[in-house]
């Protein structure tokens, strides 16, 4: 790890991370998450980009993997070695059942900055970084940059919204989310050391009425 990276990680350590309620909310949501978001064409397209752009057998991190559906399963079925990480033990139980060939770890994504999982060829981070306060997101992206081999790929999705650590009702729970408008998101990923290889956005109306409609942003990124 270079001196510059170490300074970034020191900054991360000073943030005073507050995860209260986030894991408990997802433990209680369980597979209702997949019922609320039944159509995942945008996520599947972004997953296909990652799966096809890397040679079979590549090592891919599925960050905030949730139930493992659809992404860990899609990547595993494409012949990649998938490591799923999530902060919710309940989501991981579902993921282990849904994707038996993948490996799953219970961890806060911030803890991966110690390099405990080694280096990856690709990372999928679908609707995971939006669970962080904005102050943390650049550090998390920088960490993902450093977990990737040079030229490695990151498939990232976020919801387009100008909010920071904003509490929303979600399937009978309260979760806190952050987002950016697309121009700012592009800037944040480029500042973290990624090139944008592709981009997609789509309007999404969840099946459940207590989850608001959203604009989903998908960025296909390469470690510069």
Ligand X SMILES: C[S@@+](CC[C@H](N)C(=O)[O-])C[C@H]1O[C@@H](n2cnc3c(N)ncnc32)[C@H](O)[C@@H]1O
**Cα–Cα distance for residue pair 183/188, rounded to 1 Å:** 9
Beta strand extents in 67-161 (DSSP E only): 81-86, 103-106, 120-126, 148-159
- By the rule CB under 6 A, 22 interacts with ligand X: yes
Binding footprint of ligand X, residue count (CB under 6 A): 19
Contact 44, 182 (CB under 8 A): no
Over the window 51 to 80, marking each residue x when it contacts ligand X by CB under 6 A and - when it does not, the resulting string is: -------------xxx--------------
Cis peptide before 70 (omega within 30 of 0): yes
Shortest distance in whole angstroms from residue 3 CB to ligand X: 26
Shortest distance in whole angstroms from residue 131 CB to ligand X? 4
What part of residues 137-156 is at the interface with ligand X (CB under 6 A)?
none
| Dihedral sign, Cα of residue 31, residue 157, residue 168, residue 138 | positive
**Helix or strand or coil: residue 107?**
coil
In the complex, what is the shortest distance from the CB of residue 218 to ligand X, in angstroms, rounded to a whole number? 11
Stretch that binds ligand X, among 2-10, 87-95, 158-166, 188-196 (CB under 6 A): 87-95
Residue 52 structure tokens: 């096809």
The answer to whether 84 contacts ligand X (rule: CB under 6 A) is no
- Count CB-CB contacts under 10 A for residue 137: 22
Q: Which of 88, 98, 178, 220 binds ligand X (CB under 6 A)?
A: 88
What are the tokens at 56? 């079979």
Closer by beta carbon to ligand X, 126 or else 180: 126
Task: Enter the DSSP assignment of 79.
Answer: T
Would strands 148-159 and 81-86 be described as parallel, antiparallel, or unpaired? unpaired
Query: Binding residue for ligand X (CB under 6 A) from 12, 49, 104, 127?
Result: 127
Of 72 and 148, CB closest to ligand X: 72
**Residues within the interface to ligand X (CB under 6 A):** 19, 22-23, 26, 43, 64-66, 85-88, 91, 108-109, 126-128, 131
């Amino acid at each position: 790890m270079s001196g510059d990276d170490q300074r970034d990680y020191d900054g991360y350590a000073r943030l005073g991370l507050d995860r209260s309620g986030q894991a408990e909310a997802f433990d209680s949501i369980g597979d209702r998450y997949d019922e609320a978001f039944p159509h995942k064409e945008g996520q599947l397209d972004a997953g296909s980009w990652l799966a096809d752009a890397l040679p079979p057998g590549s090592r891919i991190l599925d960050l905030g993997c949730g139930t493992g559906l659809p992404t860990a399963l899609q990547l595993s079925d494409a012949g990649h070695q998938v490591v799923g990480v999530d902060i919710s033990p309940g989501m991981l139980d579902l993921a282990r059942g849904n994707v038996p060939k993948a490996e799953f770890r219970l961890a806060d994504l911030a803890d991966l900055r110690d390099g405990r999982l080694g280096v990856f060829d690709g990372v999928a981070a679908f609707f995971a970084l939006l669970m962080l306060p904005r102050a943390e997101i650049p550090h998390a992206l920088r960490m993902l940059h450093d977990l990737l081999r040079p030229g490695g790929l990151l498939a990232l999705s976020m919801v387009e919204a100008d909010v920071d650590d904003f509490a929303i009702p979600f399937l009978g729970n309260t979760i806190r989310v952050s987002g950016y408008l697309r121009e700012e998101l592009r800037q944040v990923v480029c500042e973290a050391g990624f090139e944008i290889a592709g981009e997609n956005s789509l309007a999404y109306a969840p099946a459940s009425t207590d989850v608001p409609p959203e604009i989903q942003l998908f960025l296909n990124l390469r470690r510069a």
